[in-house]
Structure 1
Amino acid sequence: MKEELLTSLRGILSEENILIDEPMSRHTTFRTGGPASLFIRPSSRDELIRSMTIIKESNSPFFILGNGSNLLVSDKGYDGVIVSVSGLKGLETLGENKIVAEAGCLNSQIAAVAREHSMTGFEFAAGIPGTIGGAMIMNAGAYGGEMKMITESVTLLSPEGDIVTYDNEAMEFGYRTSSIKNKGYVVLEATLSLEKGDNEQIIATMNELALKRKEKQPLEYPSAGSTFKRPEGYFAGKLIEDAGLRGYQVGGARVSDKHCGFVVNMGDATSTDVYRLICDVREKVLKESGVTLEPEVIMLGDF
């Protein structure tokens, strides 16, 4: 890592928020991954913007990290800067039906605030184990709900360093995608437009969805949630099961016995195990059904 970059970042960030050769297994829900050359955690929007300016001026590769819940980092690590937005935790309500949340707020935290203020519409996201920043980029969804249904606007840092605001239409939300995905934008905050609801009903809905997750998903093991995108006209988990891959294992990585759409870490998996298993599953499903599964998980580093 360039020494001048490190020196410049130390002029912005506190020392505890600058980590060298930080194991990414500590920052992904798979609990795998080698070291990042440099890992930083800005504690405010200003620190994030200033850090990004310096990183780009240095021409260093970088990756914006939320909760690491949809990420597989190579065992070789990442030769660049991991920029964690977990320090951006501002969360407030506006009026009776709006929530403004900075990028690092967990979906579970936002759901709790919505519940406390009797705002309905966010219940579907309570169990999505990520940040609102990541949810905006990929239009996260579950149980019939998607971010595009409740997003009023998103404040972004453009690749050129400008702060811009996209309304719902400009975000062009699609299935697990948006207009800003893969274009270098950094989510700063999102404004959500919910509805006034009945508190008891909101609690009941959240409890019902939490029970469904517990019954149908392997929450007892580290994973990245649904490993594959849903192919049009099919369900990934059903295709994997029909290919005879329930319980299929490579090293410490396994196709979940509870839900075949999940790849789980049985305790000692490496990222290479997970990657090889994903490749095997794709190959077998294609052979058996003619359907090409596309990973929902982001692969970072060399595999």
Structure 2
Amino acid sequence: MFETRLKEIVKDSSLLMNEPLANHTTMKIGGPADYLVIPKNVNEIKEIIQLAKENNINVTVIGRGSNLLVSDNGIEGVVIKISDCLDHIEIDGTKVLVGAGYSVIRLATQLSRKGLSGLEFASGIPGSVGGAVYMNAGAHQSDFSKITTKAHIIFQDGSMEWLTNEQLEFSYRTSVLQKKRQGFVLEAELQLEEGSKEVSSALMQKNKDYRRETQPWNFPCAGSIFRNPLPQYAGNLIELANLKGYQIGGAKISEMHGNFIVNAGNATSKDVLELIDFIKKTILEKFNVELETEVEIVGKKM
């Protein structure tokens, strides 16, 4: 009954069953989703979530698969992939309304070319707008909390609501959506500033060059693995512990940046999780600092 109704909502061409999520994550790791849905619009997403709730079936929303580590056993229930939809954009002066599936890098580039300033920090962030708001993505002393005025959220019961910046309760690499009010971003309103195309372009290039020189984007990875235990930095602690290059299975601590774990070849989620645990224990023993993961770990327990 559930599967029949799901097919009616999304049509067969938008539904993949037992689809390996390694095909949909930047780390190239992850077992199958029971159902992977690529919806066409917000109404489809709402219907899917409501159908899943009625049938007591889990729903997971992903974008471009960055900042994500999926279990080798996959994800139970329905996975909704929004990076191939919800990619609308409206620019009104310095105000921007953008869909959750829109590429952050593409958005930063587009706004820079229009002389709008405020998103240059995100020029190398490889995710989607929805994920960036959800986790308050940031770099170079700025983040999405600085520019997000409100976001359109769909909650796990299918209800929808606009939450203001204050209601989103942003803090370092997190928001209320990960804690008290679990939900998914459908679109966001951003407030930029008028700026210089030349200055903005130069700053974006500087940020891109820095990432290219210091981060291992030539390998499959998920971005930063740990939140920085401010005022200290996770990557620096890992380097001080002489862990760069350490490897378990196919998972390896990058030799370029200690806070990156790369898929050096056929890595499994199990490899990565074991390496994360090893790093945590080592840093706690050496520096008495408890590291917390920034990467989102999802899926069936192994």
TM interval, short-chain normalised:
over 0.9
| Other-structure match for 1:144 | 141
1:272: Cα distance to partner?
A: 1.1
Give, in whole Å, the separation in 1 of the partners of 2:96 and 2:107: 8
| 2:180 is aligned with 1:178 | no
Give, in whole Å, the separation in 2 of the partners of 1:205 and 1:89: 28
Give, in whole Å, the separation in 2 of the partners of 1:284 and 1:92: 45
Q: Which moved more, 1:18-27 or 1:262-271?
A: 262-271
Count of matched residue positions in the alignment of Structure 1 and Structure 2:
300
What do the CA deviations read for 1:79-98 (whole angstroms, capped 9, x no partner)? 22111112333332332211
Amino acid at match of 1:302: K
Among 99, 103, 107, the residue aligned to 2:100: 103
Among 117, 129, 132, the residue aligned to 1:132: 129
Give, in whole Å, the separation in 2 of the partners of 1:27 and 1:110: 21
Give, in whole Å, the separation in 1 of the partners of 2:30 and 2:129: 23
- Does structure 2 conserve the Cα–Cα contact (< 8 Å) formed by 1:221 and 1:264? yes
Give, in whole Å, the separation in 2 of the partners of 1:95 and 1:38: 38
What does residue range 67-216 of structure 1 map to in structure 2 within 5 Å? 67-182=64-179, 183-216=181-214
| Other-structure match for 2:244 | 246
Give, in whole Å, the separation in 1 of the partners of 2:242 and 2:205: 33
What do the CA deviations read for 1:80-117 (whole angstroms, capped 9, x no partner)? 21111123333323322111111111101211221232
Among 45, 60, 65, the residue aligned to 1:63: 60
| Other-structure match for 1:285 | 283
- Does structure 2 conserve the Cα–Cα contact (< 8 Å) formed by 1:91 and 1:99? no
Change (3 A) 1:160 1:37: closer
1:184: Cα distance to partner?
A: 2.7
1:144: Cα distance to partner?
A: 1.1
- Does structure 2 conserve the Cα–Cα contact (< 8 Å) formed by 1:43 and 1:88? yes
Amino acid at match of 1:176: R
Unaligned runs of 5+ in 2: none
Change (3 A) 1:218 1:123: same
| Other-structure match for 2:218 | 220
- TM-score, normalising length from structure 1? 0.96
Among 230, 233, 237, the residue aligned to 1:232: 230
Give, in whole Å, the separation in 2 of the partners of 1:101 and 1:179: 20
| 2:28 is aligned with 1:34 | no
SS in 1 for 2:39: coil
Among 43, 48, 51, the residue aligned to 1:51: 48
Structure 1 consecutive aligned stretches of length 4 or more whose deviation exceeds 4 Å: none
| Other-structure match for 1:295 | 293
- TM-score, normalising length from structure 2? 0.96
Unaligned runs of 5+ in 1: none
